[in-house]
Amino acid sequence: MDRYLVFGHPVRHSKSPFIHTLFARQTQQELEYGLAEPTMDEFARTLRDFFDRGGKGCNVTVPFKEQAFALVDRLSPRAKRAGAVNTIKLTDDSVLLGDNTDGAGLVADLKAHGVTLTGSRILLLGAGGAARGALAPLLAEHPAEVVIVNRTHARAEQLAAEFRDLGSVSALTYEQLAGHFDLVINSTSASLQGELPPLAPGLIHADIAIYDMMYGATDTPFIGWAKQHGARQTMDGLGMLVEQAAEAFTVWRGIRPGTKQVLRELKRNLG
Ligand code: ATR
């Protein structure tokens, strides 16, 4: 049977085996999907071993996405732009192809929620790996503008400069932010420390769409905060998780699974 797995550390609570098992059942594909939790030093060797022993593909999550980027034989254009790999496929000619489906997953989930990206003014919070992965797929939708804001402003400047060839993207400080935004995407890891990005509440209005890449059984701190200041449409990152997985499954198997039912089941399990 074709074998796939997810590399991460920690990875025990990963939802990827659950998601891909449901995708396989739904599309009648014969495959098994497991977990691998190597240390940073063991990652390269375990990855090689997996493919030497007949593995067909894998997902890569925190903290291995940059190492995977450096280890694969070939990169997809979107992985090159993201500077990170979350999906690896062994091609028919035995090449390890590194891809990145995170940004596509975000855009697919935003669209599934009916959010208009074309012509909109988007505020992206954070300038780490998650923000980097989102930029090219967002700019491909032709927003009016993407503004990046980050606690460490220089990182936002750097990121904006790297993506300027793809569309209108600029960097501002939290203090400089003003005007009307249609969509705010939180890519920061602030909630992991129980913190909030220092966003002025005045930027939130009833018609703004709020997306937090984090998710949980209850509202994330950022979503709770945005609701408190009047946001009516809020979305967490569970949909992005399922959509990036669907994109990876499509890369591996050449067949696109439906996501709605899987998302419903995941939500039921969380709650
Ligand atoms: P990831 O790969 O998940 O994006 P990362 O590269 O460590 O992780 O980036 C985390 C992002 O969250 C960064 O933009 C970070 O800001 P800095 O560049 O200033 O470190 C942002 N971040 C983390 N904690 C934050 C907080 N409490 N408030 C605001 N931004 C925060």
Strand pairing report for 2-7 and 57-60:
parallel
Q: Please classify residue 105 by burial: count the beta carbons closer than 10 Å to its beta carbon, then call 0-12 exposed, 13-18 middle and 19+ buried.
A: buried
Kindly give the distance from the C-alpha atom of residue 171 to the centroid of ligand 1, in angstroms, as a whole number: 15
d(CA 159, CA 148): 8
d(CA 220, CA 211): 10
Can you give the pLDDT at residue 33? 98
Query: Taking Cα atoms as reference points, which of 22, 96, 27, 95 lies closest to residue 58?
Result: 96
List phi, psi (to 5°) of 146: -115, 125
Kindly give the distance from the C-alpha atom of residue 54 to the centroid of ligand 1, in angstroms, as a whole number: 37
> Within a 10 A sphere around the Cβ of 38, how many other Cβ atoms?
18
Residue to mutate, 66, 124, 189, ligand 1, most ligand atoms under 8 Å from C-beta = 189
> Within a 10 A sphere around the Cβ of 249, how many other Cβ atoms?
28
ipTM: 0.97
DSSP 71: H
DSSP per-residue string spanning 153-221: HHHHHHHHHHHGGGS-EEEE-TTT--S--SEEEE---GGGGT------GGG--TT-EEEES---SS--H
Can you give the pLDDT at residue 192? 87
| SS3 at position 228 | helix
What DSSP element (H or E) covers 9?
none
Can you give the pLDDT at residue 191? 87
Amino acid identity of residue 142, one-letter, is: H
Residue to mutate, 66, 132, 151, ligand 1, most ligand atoms under 8 Å from C-beta = 151
Half-sphere exposure of 207 (CA within 13 A, CB side): 6
65 given a catalytic annotation: yes
Q: Which residues line ligand 1 (CB under 6 A)?
A: 126-131, 150-152, 155, 187-190, 193, 195, 197
Kindly give the distance from the C-alpha atom of residue 180 to the centroid of ligand 1, in angstroms, as a whole number: 24
d(CA 100, CA 81): 9
Averaged over successive runs of 10 residues, the pLDDT of the chain (271 residues) comes to 97 96 98 98 98 98 97 97 98 97 98 98 97 97 98 98 98 97 97 93 98 95 98 98 98 98 94 73
Question: What's the token pair of residue 194?
Answer: 């129980």
Rounded to whole angstroms, what are the CA distances from 116 to 67, 119, 138?
34, 8, 11
